Structures are given as structure tokens and as C-alpha cells.
Structure 1
């Protein structure tokens, strides 16, 4: 997966051992410092997130329907596998920690999050990674030949590169990474029914053979299951450029191989992750090719429709197929639902469509017309989303008073474990502040929740007494370290202030500030209506007062800030505040 503006090649060489050791030492020292009791650490409670998108208000569900996307917000690059009646789905997580959220379903409609595949520092080395580095395009596969699940991915951090982890039970944890010796990105495993295994992935053309910007190839290797490695010397290019190289197709990637009726099908994304994104299909009599493209490619895209169409869904692609209930095929894929100004603040979510594979090639049903909001449930499946622990979608409210012994899986950190800076107390969530702020390309003491709607409000209560101008605690709306809003309590002289600051391209501007009485807990709130954001506060839990007026959500949009992530809402504390009143 790639977006315009990112370099087309990546350096996967290890950093020098001395530099890496020094950075790991700094990271560990920061973590240990945060674990110490901090007298004035802020305590957060009564968090509430409420989505109110018009698309769902106008399209209520009937009893036999469910919404797509399945997973709203930044849950891109979905991959899916099946063992019996159990379906498992994973997503890219970049520099989020823990990494690679994993979901389970028995019917493809109702999903529960099991946790994360990469939930230990030994698996995830993203402490100095940019927000859109880290974990790219994970692929999950069940191998019936040895009753083992595999997750293969590219980790652009810690000198790891392409790697695989495995488990007998996805709900009970995964192995440490096994580094794989090949370049490129987006690896995927294929286990043939004869016991043989293969890895396919995106790579650069042979040196000196690139014909144009974005020219990539799909390569295959034999995979040694006993020793978890690619077999040296078995690599072969099976797709050069894309469906038709004379048309200069860009960024053939995200490959998956499937076997049906004795033939091998290679499905890939093509066209880049933006507006020309699509899904294409090839067929061969052997897993190593030659692969012949279907004559009706693409089989999924949203690129041919008016830019200003109603209820727009865009960027559809990077798909994976699975045989669903009753033998019916389904495909999961990423797409976006931008706001009214075509901003992409929610990032790329996980969508689903039924797939017609009654002919030679699979075709996404209604995948070549503007995508709809609702789908018919598989026969006999009841929609329980948002109930009994199943992940919600549509418009919903998520509340958390941090009264449980463990955090909800939807809370994440960036570049480092949450447990290094948080503690759950009888009064709520305590965040022990790091001595680095939200602009750092390092772990920050911020607990994040994904923005999942274009229209939403999020409110939290914070009890906090800053001791100096270096202290700040509050909420952030965060696209990356150089594009964010901070709305927090701090100090100037002997007075306590609430400040709103906007950071764009790394430059911070104060939008508004106000003296505030902090003898009682303060409610902080962000309200978004499309591209318009407001930051409010209350000291009496009844009336909210705005600070800074209405501000633009532009800096929270992927198309402005760049990268691959969606906007995050963070509960934030720092001992190195640089917002000077």
C-alpha cells in the first residue's frame, strides 16, 4: 500500500547497533520514569464518543441488513482467513501500539476484537517510527496442513522489514517475529493443498528496468514451512507492472493467491491508494504462473464516478476474499467516506461486499457502481453489532469510565505500550506524563481513540493541577506529530489556563486561551460537523463554553497531512509542554 508523495523505495537495512541501542535505552528510561508515581498526574474519567453521521440517520437498518464499512475509522488494508466456522480479520496499524488489531466472527456480520497480534515490545519496534511507518498490510492465513495461523507483514521499523508470526490459536497470543530475507512490501502467504507454500509480494522491477514512476512487480517465492523462510533462488516475477503494462499501471500491490476448481487466482490492488485505486484479478494453472489477467478488470473500483456524488465512497481496493456462510464468497477491502469538503479525517476503513464467483473470475457484486451503505445479511444471520461485545458500526456511542481492570482494545498508544504511562485507579485513568510532547517522533503519554465519524462529539472529564508552564493535560485531535490540535490545561505564572493550539507542518499557533478555575474537575469536549471542529469546556457539567471559535479539520485530513492514518482523539499529558502563552 502506498499513497502519492511517499518514496517508491524503502531502506530496510538495520540501523547501526550503537544508534539503535542508544534509542532503546532512551525509550526504556522514559518508560521507567513515567511508571514512577507522579504527584500531579492528571486523572481522566467519563469518556464519551458519539457518532452522528447523516448517512446512517437517512438509512436505518431493516432486520435482515447490516452496514458497510464493518470497521469505521482507521482500519485499513484488511486481510481475512477462515478455519471452519471461525473468521479472523486483521488491519494495518503503522506506528500504533499495540499493533495489528485482530477481529473474530462466525458470520461475517458480527465481529469481536480479540486484541492485537503484535502486543509486546519484542514484536513491535516502532519507538522511533514516523506515524505512517511501522506495520504495513498484514496478511492472515490459516494453514490446514499444520493447523497453524500465520500473520505476515512488513515492519518499517527497527531494521525488521518483512516478517512473520504464528500461533495455533489467534485468541491466545502470537510468536515473536521471524525476519524474512526478501525486499519489497505487502507479503502474503499461500498454502496449497499438496502441502507446498508460497509468498507473493510487491517489489521493485529489476535494477535498471523501471519504465515509469510507480512501475512495480509482483514476485513469488517458495516458502519453507518447516524453517519459516523463503527458499533462496526460487523468486520469480509473475506480474510486471499490472494488467496491461502498455498503459503504465501504477502500484500493483497487496497480492493474494486463491485456489478454486484446480486453478490459481492472483488478486491485487492496482492504481495507488488514492482516487485511481482498484482491484484486479489474474488466473493460472500453476501458482508460479504464467498469470493471465481477466478481460473484465478491474473487478472493484470507485474511480469512474462524479467527484461530487452524494454519499461518496472512494479509494476502494486492497481486498481479500473468503468463502462465507453457505459457500457464498465475500470480499473485504479498504475505502474512505470523505466529509462534505472531501476531507479524509476518518481515514480508510474496512468495507465488505458479496462476491459472485459463479463464472471463471470473481466479481464484487455492485463493486463497479457507487457503493451503498447497507447490505443484506447472509441467510439466517441476525445483526447484533454493538451488542454483547460485538463491534458497533453506523451511528453509536462509546463510553468508558475506566472502571474495568483492563483497557478496552479500542484504546491505543503511539510508538510505545500504553501500560508504560497509564494506570487504572478507582477515580479513573491516570496518565503519568512523559518528558516529550505530542510533536515528538517517540512514544508520547497519550491514549488514543480512532475518529470513526465525520460528525461526532467526544467528551472527557479531567482532574488536574499543573505545577508549571511545562505541564499540560487535556485532549488532542491528532493526524500526526506535525499536524494536530491540542486542547489542554496548563499554567502561566500563578494562573491556570485552558489553551487551544493548532500545529500545521510542525509550526504551532495558539488559537485561543482562557483562565480557568480547576478546583473542580473540568469537562473537555471536541465537536466535529464535517470539516468544522469546535473545542469546548464545562466546569459545572451542564453548560459548555467554546474556546477559539470554529476551526478547520483540514490538518486532520489524510490528503493534507499525508500518510496513511486517520485522525485520532487522544487523552494527553506532557511534562514538556511547548505551547507558551
Structure 2
């Protein structure tokens, strides 16, 4: 009797627990995204198939700008800007400059990255990474426009094992870089404003150098010196000399900088000195890299600059740099991407090979590199590819990022997919959003997901967001209107400037949908033409709102420095109303 009673009680407790678990799930009302398939299919890769000794340029497609690179032995490490993406500063590893693996992010903790209330166009700018053989330590130095940080440095003995908390550096300006001389001395160079009262024109900047105290991880007070004032030819009022790096070769010191602003006039220039503190003399044949002279052309690459040099596996120099590939309407939706070119440094001055003619979509692999494994065995893909993520593993792929806050604060990986706990924050707010983002990497792409979700009220929404910034984006999601579930497409864009600027949102289309089963959502683009579509069976898709322009997803219209980010989005503070 007692045994039977125990069984009954056990069964009752089990039923109660199941009921509580279900009720809790309903209370949380967390949408589950079963999978994502991203497919990129650009004509340039169809027209230019790879030979057995070739690889594609750019090496990192999508918003991976401002690359910096260093080498220890046979290992190469490269970092790029991340603005308010969280985690910050993606870091990549390679043995051959062709096949790259993302090994994580340098700034992956809240103590390192304080961008929770920051506009998308701020945050982390222009990181530099350098290995110091004299203390066997890697340094990453950058500017963090957030969290009362400014210029910071973090360090590690092993980039695979994580980085220190930031050390705040006592100087102003942006784009800091480090140089370690072969006598053990260290220096920091950076972009700064001219001395007070000496600014001659808009865009007038200087390059400044400091001695750096390795024991105390701080610039040495009073050692700062301006080594470039304005740029290569001050009589022409050059703008935005920035992103400095110092190299030593044949007992001479070379200072390489970007010049012209990170747009159509962007370029890379070089100076030389007998001492790291200068004076520096510009090369007679600057620039050594630019794409500003060529106008319209097929497979156009533009805005080339912001470069860094490294000695390759074949004892030849290579330079990584940013560039853009505009679409047919000259709009930049994929953002600033990372390119690479060999560098001829057989003479006195380095010059990017084919960096002063239109950049081509593929390159010969460095000497001694026999296999292109991009997209295989964990190596980062490039060219045309299809990537499917089911979110059912133990570890999320590093390509997925949050906005202003950690993914772990809202994301749970389950056997059914990515479960996102909605924040009471919508896409227009400068706060961490419950959105899992993937960068647009092709002009022509599709991004498809399965969504299992039943919004309880008009404040609940989940779906896809295509985002250039908090003021320029599309939201394509399901919400509740009265007793109906509705799928809607909203376009948001800012108008005006300064204090007169306002953000305007418009619902382009909406439709009632049956959410008794999962719904399939898709965004696809052919250049500037975007379409948002849905399906109830996973195969037959209907477009909602027709063809819409990708203009607001471009830096041309939205400004800033990022590319289009495609997100799995959920909110419990939906502000989109359907009439």
C-alpha cells in the first residue's frame, strides 16, 4: 500500500513539475529559431573560378575592417575593428596567410568592453596587434569610444587563452599602434589633433609618438613628439593622416599611415627615418596603395587603405588592408572588408604589388603554400558558400555576435535551436538588444530561418532584423494584433541632421499568419534589391512588401563604419503598430 501511494505521489509531482515547466516556458515566451541557412552567390566568383594555386580577395568578406597583423614563429594573428558588436575585436589565426581560423575575440568580457549605451558607429576602432619577442607577450592596443576608456591596451602570453582586462593609457587621439625595437625599447604611435591653435583646416591631423614603459604599461610622460604634421605634402592640406605603424628594415625605420579619409580618397603612404622618434621623410612616390584613380570598373574594389605589413611564409612581405565592394548602385552594404596583397620591398621603399591598379578578385598563393582550405575543416570561408547553423552544439560559432552586450545574456542553445529570451528593448534604442547577428558577406545572398513562436501581446515580436544602425534598419517579424498573429515589415530611417534629426518608421506591409506551426522567414538581396518573404511549409515563399531598397543598409545613406548585420531578433518592447 505504502509503495503504491509513493508511486502515485511521485507521478503527481512529475505532472506538477511538467506543468510548472510548461507554464514557465509560456511565461518567458521565448522564441526558438530552429536553424539559419546563409547562402552567398556573387557573380564575380562564378566568373573567376580558382586555379589550384589561387585564393580569393578579400580574405574576410563582410564587416571586418581596419585589419592589423603580427607574427610569432609560424603563427599569424590578425584583428579587426568591431565598434559596438559584442564580443569585440575578432581575432584570426593562420599558418600561411591564405587559410584563416577565427579563434575568438580579444574583448569578450563586460569588464573589457563597456558599450552598452553606445551608438553603433562608436565603440572599438582600429585595433593593432603586435608580438614582443623580448618579453614573449602579445599586445592589442585600440581606442574604445565608450565606458570612459579612450585608448587602452590588453595583453596575453597566448592569444588562444584569452586577454587581460584593459589598461587605460594616458594620451588622447585615436588609432594607436605599438612598435618594439630590437634593443628592447617600446613605442606607441597614434593619430591626434594638432597642437592647440595650430589647426590649419578641417581634417588636419598629426601623427604622434611616445616612448612606452613595458614594466608599468604606460606611455612615458613628456616623451611625446609630433613626427608627421598633416601628411605627405602639407602644402596640399592632406586630410586624416591616421592608422600609423612603424617597421624596421636594414637599420632604417619606416612609418606607414593611411591618408585621405576612409572613403573614395583613401590611400596608404610611407615615410622613413634613421630613428624611431624621427624626423620622417616621405617616399618620393607616395601613395603606395590606393584605388582612387580608376572610376567605374568591373568587380570594383575601392576605399583601399588602413594597412599593416608582415613577413610572409615565403620571406616576402604582405599587407592586409580594408576595402569595399559597392553594389550596382554604388552602395556599400557589405561594409569595409579585409583584403591582402603581396608587397615588393626589394628596394628602399615598400610598394603594394598591383595596389596602384584595379584590385583583382583572386591572387596567387604565397610560395610554399600548397592547399586552399577556406571553408573546410573549420577555416573561414570566402568566395561563394552556403553556411547552415542549427544552434544545437556546445559552442556558438564566433561569426555570431550580439549588439552592445553578451549573447549569453539572452541566448540558450537547445536541441530545437536558438532560444532567445526577449529583452524589453527594441531596435531603435541604444541599449543591448536580444538579437543574434550575422554579417552580410555578399551582394547577392539569402538568409533563411525557422521560427517557433506565438506572441502573447502587441509588445511581443520576433523575427529577422537587417540593421545598419539604431536609426537605419528593417524589422521583419511576427507580433499580435487584437486576436490575430500578424507578420509585418517595417522600415526605419533617420531624417535631417543635428538637433533637427528625427527617426521615421513606416510599416510597408503586413499579413495575418497561422502560428500553430513554425513559420519560415527569409531575407534575400540581389545587389540593392531586398526581398522579405515567408513560408508556412519551408519551401513555398511569399514576398511581403515587394522589392525594397537596401539603401538604408548602406554606409552611403546610414553613415557610420559597419556593414549590414542580419539578426535573429526578439523583443518584449515592440513599438511597431499595425493599423
Counterparts of 1:350-361 in structure 2, within 5 Å, are: 350-361=338-349
Among candidates 116, 125, 136, match of residue 127 of structure 1: 116
What does the per-residue CA deviation read over 1:416-462, in whole Å, with 9 as the maximum and x for residues that have no partner?
Answer: 00000111112110000000101110100000000000100000000
Match of 1:372 in 2: 360
What does the per-residue CA deviation read over 1:341-389, in whole Å, with 9 as the maximum and x for residues that have no partner?
Answer: 0010000000000000000010000000010000000123111000000
Match of 2:11 in 1: none
Among candidates 195, 202, 214, match of residue 225 of structure 1: 214
Match of 1:555 in 2: 552
Among candidates 269, 275, 283, match of residue 264 of structure 2: 275
Matched, 1:535 2:537: no
| Structure 1 residues without counterparts, runs of 5 or longer | 1-34
SS where residue 340 of structure 2 aligns? strand
Distance 1:37 1:234, change over 3 A: farther
Matched, 1:396 2:385: yes
Match of 1:311 in 2: 299
SS where residue 327 of structure 1 aligns? coil
Among candidates 570, 573, 576, match of residue 576 of structure 1: 573
Match of 1:432 in 2: 421
What does the per-residue CA deviation read over 1:538-565, in whole Å, with 9 as the maximum and x for residues that have no partner?
Answer: 0011200110000000000001000000
Structure 2 contact 116–405 (Cα < 8 Å) conserved: yes
Structure 1 contact 472–574 (Cα < 8 Å) conserved: yes
SS where residue 326 of structure 1 aligns? coil
SS where residue 28 of structure 2 aligns? coil
In the alignment, the residues of structure 2 paired with residue 248 and residue 36 of structure 1 have an alpha-carbon distance, to the nearest angstrom, of 62
Return the offset for 1:403. Answer: 1.2
Counterparts of 1:302-341 in structure 2, within 5 Å, are: 302-306=291-295, 308-341=296-329
Among candidates 462, 469, 489, match of residue 451 of structure 2: 462
Matched, 1:45 2:42: no
Match of 1:107 in 2: 96
SS where residue 120 of structure 2 aligns? coil
Structure 2 contact 533–544 (Cα < 8 Å) conserved: yes
Match of 1:54 in 2: 43
Counterparts of 1:187-198 in structure 2, within 5 Å, are: 187-198=176-187
After alignment, is 420-429 or 459-468 more displaced? 420-429
The ranges of structure 1 where at least 4 consecutive aligned residues each deviate by more than 2 angstroms after the TM superposition are: 35-39
Return the offset for 1:405. Answer: 1.0
In the alignment, the residues of structure 2 paired with residue 384 and residue 200 of structure 1 have an alpha-carbon distance, to the nearest angstrom, of 36
TM-score w.r.t. the length of structure 2 is 0.94
What does the per-residue CA deviation read over 1:124-182, in whole Å, with 9 as the maximum and x for residues that have no partner?
Answer: 00001110111000000000000000000000001100000000000100000000000
TM-score w.r.t. the length of structure 1 is 0.93
| Structure 2 residues without counterparts, runs of 5 or longer | 1-23, 495-502
In the alignment, the residues of structure 1 paired with residue 247 and residue 300 of structure 2 have an alpha-carbon distance, to the nearest angstrom, of 31
Structure 1 contact 38–432 (Cα < 8 Å) conserved: no
In the alignment, the residues of structure 1 paired with residue 309 and residue 571 of structure 2 have an alpha-carbon distance, to the nearest angstrom, of 44
Matched, 1:420 2:409: yes
Structure 2 contact 400–437 (Cα < 8 Å) conserved: yes
What does the per-residue CA deviation read over 1:254-278, in whole Å, with 9 as the maximum and x for residues that have no partner?
Answer: 0000000000000000000000000
- Please say which structure displays the higher CA radius of gyration: 2
Return the offset for 1:39. Answer: 3.0
SS where residue 238 of structure 2 aligns? coil
Return the offset for 1:115. Answer: 0.3
In the alignment, the residues of structure 2 paired with residue 422 and residue 173 of structure 1 have an alpha-carbon distance, to the nearest angstrom, of 22
Among candidates 188, 194, 208, match of residue 205 of structure 1: 194
In the alignment, the residues of structure 2 paired with residue 510 and residue 342 of structure 1 have an alpha-carbon distance, to the nearest angstrom, of 26
How many residues align? The count is 546
RMSD: 0.9
In the alignment, the residues of structure 2 paired with residue 482 and residue 379 of structure 1 have an alpha-carbon distance, to the nearest angstrom, of 47
